[in-house]
Amino acid sequence: MSIKTPFVHRLVVNIAFVFWIALTITHSRAHATYTPDVDLHAIKNDLPVPYDTIISHALSLIGTPYMWGGSTPNGFDCSGFIKYVFAKTGVYTPRTISEIWNYSSDVPNPSIGDLVFFETYKPGPSHAGIYLGNGNFIHAGSSSGVKISNLNSKYWKSKYIGSKRINIISGQKSENSTIPIGSISVKKAPYRQ
């Protein structure tokens, strides 16, 4: 059985292309080089949370599928994505969008690393993403998984209800840290499977 030269050539070219794509994605995820319209150097250094690291973690997850209730790189819903990304930096966030909304502080205009909230399928905040700058935010969308979208698109502009910043008191907090709730503080128990 002989293999025709054009077939072999196409096969080699296709394999090389797939290898190049895999290498590019791996390099992009490892170094967060794929950042459309996001200038990581523009991140404010005076913010209490390492937003550049949070953004890098978030960008490394582009393409992760959507999964209702998901909170791992196997699949995320929007709040699971936010919780996972912030936790990778040692920053506690609650698990649901309404809890995150209540836990965070209002900001008049989002800065890089702030959260942007939307009213989608029910009244009140029901979806959120992490603001990247220039109107872009990264989120786990139910139709396409982790991706970058723009606040100025017709859909997201009509659903936008505000931006907020994660409350950080005297540095970073992990899930085992004391969490401020009103005028009292409670100790959050670690998650156990």
Q: Which is the catalytic residue, given 9, 31, 41, 127?
A: 127
Contact in structure between 129 and 137 (CB atoms under 8 Å): yes
41 tagged catalytic: no
Query: Beta strand pairing status for 160-165 and 145-150?
Result: unpaired
Residue linked to tokens 């979208």: 149
Contact in structure between 180 and 104 (CB atoms under 8 Å): no
Q: Which is the catalytic residue, given 9, 27, 57, 139?
A: 139
Query: Beta strand pairing status for 178-181 and 184-187?
Result: antiparallel
Q: Which is the catalytic residue, given 9, 41, 57, 78?
A: 78
Contact in structure between 22 and 14 (CB atoms under 8 Å): no
Q: Closest Cα partner for 115 from 16, 106, 123? A: 106
What per-residue string of b and e applies to 10-47 under the rule 16 or more CB within 10 Å gives b? eeeeeeeeeeeeeeeeeeebeebeebeebebeebeeee
139 tagged catalytic: yes
57 tagged catalytic: no
Q: Would you please indicate which residues are annotated as catalytic (active-site) residues?
A: 78, 127, 139
